[in-house]
Amino acid sequence: MKLQLALDRLERQQCFRLLEETKDHIDWIEVGTGVIKEYGMSIVREIKQRYPNHTLVADMKTCDAGKHEARQAFEAGADVVTVMAFAADETIKDMLFEADSYGKQVMADLLNVSEKRRLDELKEAGVTLVSLHYGKDMQKEKDMSADLFDLVKGGGFTVSVAGGIKESTLPEIVANKPDIVIVGSAITSAEDPANASFKLKGMLTPDEEDH
């Protein structure tokens, strides 16, 4: 089980400080959508240069012009780009085509998707990696429920999960056996991000290769 650190609503310097503090306890690095909107592909490029051994996710949240946006991120060094699962199948297929040619991956963000039928369509389009996502604004009302996992049960996807995950909610998440756990604020807003990432990583089920 991998830990993905989401860098959201942060300035450039804060991103690099957090990465220095947490790099030994995280597996995947996510450049958040807001950070990309502020700094563009230059921060994706710089993070990949400084942390070449971490899998780098550019959270583009693409919903159109998939070919162009996928190329932008892959050229900058991203290993994974995100596409909104509600995007047109053409957008998703174009991004998957680009990912194949670069030897990289596409993660379909399931924010606001509730119909299993869409999962079947994504599978048909060639998607293998999905992200269960309980949005920041949805979190204002209540915390994510692990019922979210029902959407992907038995689908054969590689599953990541995001949305206000913290120490107290992590055990229920881990019990549902995701492949990747995405954590933002619980690490980036912690008093001691190094310790927070160390603790959260320690709560994940170790991968076979870690034994």
Ligand X SMILES: O=C([C@H](O)CO)[C@H](O)[C@H](O)COP(=O)(O)O
Q: Which of 19, 44, 59, 69 binds ligand X (CB under 6 A)?
A: 59
Name the one range near ligand X by CB under 6 A: 14-22, 46-54, 97-105, 182-190: 182-190
Question: Does residue 57 interact with ligand X by CB under 6 A?
Answer: no
Question: Does residue 162 interact with ligand X by CB under 6 A?
Answer: yes
DSSP 188: H
Nearest to ligand X of 77, 163 (CB atom): 163
Taking the complex as a whole, how short is the minimal distance between the CB of residue 209 and ligand X, in angstroms?
25
CB-based closest residue to ligand X: 184
Strands 158-162 and 180-183: parallel
Q: Are 182 and 161 in contact (CB under 8 A)?
A: yes
Closest alpha carbon to 137 in 9, 1, 3: 9
Taking the complex as a whole, how short is the minimal distance between the CB of residue 30 and ligand X, in angstroms?
6
Alpha-carbon gap, residue 138 to 171, rounded angstroms = 21
Nearest to ligand X of 66, 164 (CB atom): 164
Residues 119-138 that bind ligand X (CB under 6 A): 135-136
Q: Which of 66, 77, 178, 184 binds ligand X (CB under 6 A)?
A: 184
DSSP 78: -
Upper half-sphere CA count for residue 23 (Cβ side, 13 Å): 13
Output phi, psi for 2, to 5 deg. -100, 150
Q: Which of 21, 25, 31, 32 binds ligand X (CB under 6 A)?
A: 32
Alpha-carbon gap, residue 138 to 20, rounded angstroms = 30
Interface residues toward ligand X, by CB under 6 A: 6, 8, 30, 32-34, 59, 135-136, 162-165, 182-186
